Amino acid sequence: MHLRLGEVPHVVVSSSRAAREVMKTHDAVFASRPSLLAAEMMTYAGSDLVFTRYGESYKRLRKICVVEVLGAGRVRYFRPVREEETVLGKARELDDGFLRMVESVSEVMAGFKVSDLFPSLKFLPAVTGYKAQLRRMRREMESMLDGIIDEHKERRAEGGGGNEEDLVDVLLNLQASGSTDFSLTMDNIKAVTVEVFIAGVETSATAIDWTMAEMMKDERVLRKAQEEVRQVYRGKTNVDESSLHELKYLDLVIKESLRLHPPLPLLFPRESQAKVEVCGYEIPAKTKVIVNCWAIGRDPQYWIEPTKFYPERFADSTIDYKGNNFEFIPFGAGRRMCPGMLYATAVVKLTLANLLYHFDWKLVDGMDAENLDMTEAFGVAVGRKCSLCLIPIAYDDVPI
């Protein structure tokens, strides 16, 4: 679908074939992101990963993030932290103000802003008050990030760190060691820190929420997933990551939930860097391309009874979300594919396994599973409009 919104041509991709052409055949052409004023002002223009245009500094930063910060080795390294936080419910100290700030930044990033559609009218952001609003938010964010980084530096100077290391420590260590071929600036560190929250935390929480909601709607799936967890971890006090790989049915449930409710239903937008032909249509340079992964995941051409929540559809299927099956791309594909996929799947699975192991779940009084409201809300990550209110009943077969 081709649209012209303001001065900017937009193309919406809603088929697996076109998605493959954009994210595989012509991946290099579509590896850039369009420029958005909010992203430029809030993510230290060009110092970040999610919204930066494709180019040398992007490639270097991505390599550091993939290899050193979000890769398999680091996911293993942070395993004790995940287990401690998920299993013991011991969340790291995160200022409410910081989370509220991340929420407001996500909100401004999600919207279609008139000034982004008329880039030649440079005065628009100023006269609409949008620029002033972004400046205020940026000042607030800057002071919070400075506080967080100073705290980390002080702790490190006092010899702290060790088991308490987190993502900011990892980035500061990389900067101090100079071990990478790209010197990380303070702006890089701040931008990546905020983006991990914008791109990583809300998306993972959204995936957990939708999966619980779908299981509450279908008691058969809930029981089956719960029996599996309780059998694999029988006799254990906690669900840790040691046997997570044995939870095969839970894998299917998570896949099915990501198919029906991808937390980023339109991924993050891409921009063509040159004129190119996709499925017989000519796409000019500088076209904003939106891949509708939500629609592709519900397309009857690829999925039987596409709107039905049926995890077993993945049981004898090789279809996965790793970016090779273009009918199922909740993490995107190609050069801009989500580098946090391993983190996300570890956190989502561990959290769900704990919720299923320790508690039986009931809907609040008077609510009937069939009528559970599954309306979607608006945001960078598309969650449920109504909060999921459930009653946990402690499972008393867990040894103390």
Give the interface with ligand HEM as residue ranges (CB under 6 A): 49-50, 62, 70, 195-196, 199-200, 203-204, 207, 262-264, 267-268, 330-333, 336-340, 343-344, 348
**Comparison of 313 and 336: residue with beta carbon closer to ligand HEM:** 336
Coil, helix or strand at residue 56: helix
* Smallest gap from residue 362 Cβ to ligand HEM (A): 26
Contact 193, 168 (CB under 8 A): yes
* Cβ nearer to ligand HEM, comparing 41 with 170: 170
Report the residue number, 268 or 310, with the smaller CB distance to ligand HEM. Answer: 268
Q: Report the interhelical angle of 79-87 vs 341-358 (nearest 10°).
A: 30
> Cβ of residue 254: shortest distance to ligand HEM, in angstroms?
9
Distance in Å, CB of 304 to ligand HEM, minimum? 23
Radius of gyration for the chain, computed over Cα atoms and rounded to the nearest angstrom: 22
Strand bridging mode 8-13 / 288-291: parallel
Q: Which is nearer to ligand HEM, 110 or 398 (CB)?
A: 110
Q: Residue 394: phi, psi to the nearest 5?
A: -60, 135
- In the complex, least distance from residue 53 CB atom to ligand HEM, rounded to whole angstroms: 10
Cα–Cα distance between 234 and 361 in angstroms, integer? 19
Instruction: For residue 100, give every residue at least 6 positions away whose Cβ sits within 8 Å of its Cβ, in sequence order, or none.
Output: none
- Residue 212 or 337 having the CB closest to ligand HEM: 337
Residues 348 and 241: their CA atoms lie apart, in Å, by: 12
Whether residue 339 contacts residue 70, with contact meaning beta carbons closer than 8 Å, is answered with: yes
Chain centre to alpha carbon of residue 96: 20
Nearest residue (CB) to ligand HEM, 124 versus 291: 291
Buried/exposed 352-369: b ≥16 CB within 10 Å, e otherwise: bbbbbbbbebebeeeeee
Work out the end-to-end distance of the chain between its first and last CA atoms, rounded to an integer number of angstroms: 58
What is the signed CA dihedral for 100, 349, 206, 171, rounded to 10 degrees? 40
Q: What is the DSSP string of 234-303?
A: TT-SS--STTGGG-HHHHHHHHHHHHH--SSTT-S-EE-SS-EEETTEEE-TT-EEEE-HHHHTT-TTTS
Give the integer Cα–Cα distance in Å for 140 and 95.
Answer: 13
In angstroms, give the least distance from the CB of 260 to ligand HEM. 13
Q: How far is CA 230 from CA 85, 213, 223, 345, 398, in A?
A: 20, 20, 10, 20, 9
Q: Is 389 annotated as a binding-site member?
A: no
* Nearest CB to ligand HEM, comparing residues 124 and 225: 225
In angstroms, give the least distance from the CB of 33 to ligand HEM: 7
Residue closer to ligand HEM by CB (options 49, 252) is 49
In whole angstroms, how close is the CB of 234 to ligand HEM at the nearest point? 28
Q: Taking the complex as a whole, how short is the minimal distance between the CB of residue 89 and ligand HEM, in angstroms?
A: 19
User: CA 342, CA 314: separation in Å to the nearest integer?
Assistant: 19
CB of 331 to ligand HEM, least distance (A): 5
C-beta of 230 vs 288, nearer to ligand HEM = 288
Which residue numbers belong to the known binding site? Answer: 338
> Which residue ranges make up the annotated binding site for heme?
338
